[in-house]
Amino acid sequence: MGSASREIEGKHILVTGGAGFLGSHLIDALVLEGARRVTVVDNLYLGTPANLVAARRNMGGLQILYVDISDVRSMREALFDLGSIDVVFNLAALPLPICLEQPHYCFDTNMRITSVLCELLREKRYATLVHVSSSCVYGSMQAHPLSEKDAVNPLTPYAASKVSCDSLVLSYARTFDLDALVIRPFSIYGPRQYARQYATVLPVLIRCALEDAVFSFFGDGKQSRDFLFVADAVRAMIALYRCADSRGQTVNIASGRETQIKDLKAKIEELMKKSILCEYCEPRVCDIDRQRGDITLLKSLTDWEPQVTLDEGLQQTIEFYTQQMDDAQRPQRMVALHDARGR
């Protein structure tokens, strides 16, 4: 087994779901912070190796294992070949929209991913589990920002899977005296977030602006979320791992600010200097109405402060998707240019 001392430098770190949005940014940061070795486990359900280009540039030996983590036998074999591992950051999960079509599959897969990792922790195949949950466990906010002390209120089977996974991790930590913690991010955004099927609101808004497509408001657009830029989220995750007092705790990661979806649309329109076509549809079943995170615990455990304003984060995100669209269109433009010249 690896060491339970909570440092990044010199450690072998395994990131599940590392080819996804949040995982790939975490890996970029872990490499820069001096991890000795980083291993990614991802079955590419939504992730892509393209998200790991920068990390591979900075760490030649970055290893990617294309394994389904919910399959305990495959994971045992994968870990056996890897030798000593210090910490697992668990970000692998099926996303919320899957649970609306296939609730059993979504709940079952998310639970099995977590129970496999709990078992491997109990078997001392690695020393520390940093489990990534979600603010969706709280449901909608009433009067006060959502705190870790609030009761959970899962509105969907996806949220129920997250609640169950959190309970499982904490129960293993208590029963078997293991080193584990649960992190609850609110709405994280930034470059590389999945922008097509299953996408969350922000990449959809930017894509609608770039493609002149119609954005659908579900309800009146007054629903709110607590948006945090991905670089700030990753710094918070690393700060919590480094803090020994986070052992056995559940900690929110958020900006502490609330933004309505209609205001987010207006901000994107202002930054992109164009208006986004929109339509108003019926509210979605079990949609969360309001969210804002209470980050008192995060701040009391670490010296973390958000560094990126919403405008700065949106600007970086817009630039990423604009570049991605330009890259996708370049071959077509080259053909068009060639045809035009050839004629």
Ligand X SMILES: NC(=O)c1ccc[n+]([C@@H]2O[C@H](COP(=O)([O-])OP(=O)(O)OC[C@H]3O[C@@H](n4cnc5c(N)ncnc54)[C@H](O)[C@@H]3O)[C@@H](O)[C@H]2O)c1
- Residues in contact with ligand X by CB under 6 A are 17, 19-23, 42-47, 68-70, 91-95, 109, 113, 132, 134-135, 185, 187-188, 194
The smaller minimum CB distance to ligand X, of residues 3 and 259, is found at 259
Shortest distance, CB of residue 164 to ligand X, whole angstroms? 13
Q: How far is the CB of 132 from ligand X (least distance, A)?
A: 4
- Residues 169 and 118: beta-carbon distance below 8 Å: yes
Write down the least CB distance from residue 66 to ligand X, Å. 8
Q: For ligand X, give the closer residue by CB, 187 or 317.
A: 187
Could you tell me the smallest distance in angstroms from the CB atom of residue 334 to ligand X?
30
Check: CB of residue 29 under 8 Å from CB of residue 235. yes
Cβ count within 10 A of residue 272: 18
| Smaller CB separation from ligand X, 70 or 246 | 70
* Identity of the residue, 42 or 179, whose beta carbon is nearer to ligand X in the bound complex: 42
Q: Which of 28, 36, 48, 46 is nearest to 8 (CA)?
A: 36
Instruction: Name the residue nearer to ligand X (CB basis): 19 or 206.
Output: 19
Of the pair 2, 47, the CB lying nearest ligand X is at: 47
4 vs 286, beta carbon nearer ligand X = 286
Closest contact distance (angstroms) between CB of 270 and ligand X is: 23
Strand-pair category, 227-229 with 187-189: parallel
Q: SS3 string of 246-309?
A: HCCCEEEECCCCCEEHHHHHHHHHHHHCCCCCEEEECCCCCCCCCCCECCHHHHHHCCCCCCCC
User: Could you tell me the smallest distance in angstroms from the CB atom of residue 202 to ligand X?
Assistant: 9
Q: How far is the CB of 203 from ligand X (least distance, A)?
A: 10
- Work out the number of other CB atoms within 10 angstroms of the CB of residue 35: 23
- How many whole angstroms separate alpha carbon 189 and alpha carbon 214? 21
* Residue 287: both structure tokens together: 């949609």
∠ CA 306-312-315, rounded to 5°: 140
Residue closer to ligand X, measured from CB, 68 or 148: 68
Q: Is 7 exposed, middle or buried (0-12, 13-18, 19+ CB in 10 A)?
A: middle
Helices (H), 68-145: 72-82, 96-101, 103-122
Q: How far is the CB of 5 from ligand X (least distance, A)?
A: 25
d(CA 343, CA 331): 18
CA nearest to 158, candidates 193, 111, 196, 118? 111
